[in-house]
Amino acid sequence: MPPDQYARAAVDAALHVQVEIERVELPPGTSGEAVVMGRVARVFRGPPEMLSSRISFEVSCLREDDDSPPGGTLWKRVEDLEQAKVMETYLDRDGQGRFHVPRWQSFIIDEVTDTPLFLVTEEEARRLEDAFGPPRTRARRLLYAMNTVLLVHGPVFLLGLGGLAAIIYFVWTLVEWQRTP
């Protein structure tokens, strides 16, 4: 996943807090979602009355020997989560009022700090969008769309051409076989 999407998720999140971890419930088996429970120790974005509130949220994690599945997930190691004392995280709330971490924007830190250690600004998000986001000009948008179509449909098209070539060769071979005495 392009870096601009992670940055945009952080900038658009309703909350940016540091949480003193009280407990972590790990997923059974290998990779999955750990539930982090703790107390809000710092509020960098969001209502100040959240300070000292007890909250919980899920963090994607995997064990040391697990292979990380493909995709844009930013995994935490179970071993690191087990030892974690503090997390800095961006949070949103779903329709039921539960907290969730947008685009895996949570970070294990050593201690509560007075200023954020993982601050993403609007300017940084825009800079990344300009560098990694879709092109803005008409010609570049067309090239971007063509590249996307070729990347997605190109292999299928080539397989189709290969299959067509195989059929033509098979038919030609049959015709030539019929002609030979």
> Each residue of 85-123: pLDDT tens digit?
999 999 999 999 999 999 999 999 999 999 999 999 999
Q: Mark out the alpha helices in the chain (DSSP H runs).
A: 3-12, 78-83, 122-132, 138-179
pLDDT tens-digit readout, 133-177: 776 555 555 565 566 555 555 555 556 667 777 788 777 776 666
Residues 164 and 85 reside in one and the same domain: no
Domain containing residue 181: 138-181
pLDDT score of 30 more than 90: no
Identify the pLDDT of residue 57. Answer: 98
Q: Model-level pTM?
A: 0.72
Based on the fold, state whether residues 78 and 103 are members of the same structural domain: yes
pLDDT at 168: 81
Judgement on whether residues 125 and 149 belong to the same structural domain of the protein: no
The per-residue pLDDT for 178 is 66
Q: Tell me which of 91, 114, 131 is where a domain ends.
A: 131
| Low-confidence winner among 56-60, 63-67, 112-116, 141-145 (lowest mean pLDDT) | 141-145
Please identify, among 110, 131, 152, the residue that sits at the C-terminal boundary of a domain.
131
The CA distance from 45 to 43, in Å, is: 6
Task: Tell me what pLDDT residue 126 has.
Answer: 94
Query: Could you tell me if 94 and 70 lie in one domain?
Result: yes
Let me know whether 67 and 13 are in one domain.
yes
Per-residue pLDDT averaged across 62-67, rounded? Answer: 87
When pLDDT is averaged across residues 26-47 and rounded to a whole number, the result is 94
Give the residue with greater pLDDT, 151 vs 11: 11
DSSP 81-97: HHH--EEEEEEEE-TTS
- The verdict on 32 and 121 lying in the same domain is yes
Residue 84: what pLDDT? 97
Q: Is the domain of 124 the same as that of 148? A: no
Considering its fold, how many domains does the chain have in total?
A: 2
- Whether residue 157 sits in one domain with residue 102: no
Chain-centroid distance of CA 172 in Å reads 50
Long-range contacts formed by 145-153: CB under 8 A, 24+ apart:
none
14 and 100 both lie in a single domain: yes
Same-domain pairing of 148 and 123: no
CATH code of the domain containing 86: 2.40.50
> Same structural domain for residues 10 and 35?
yes
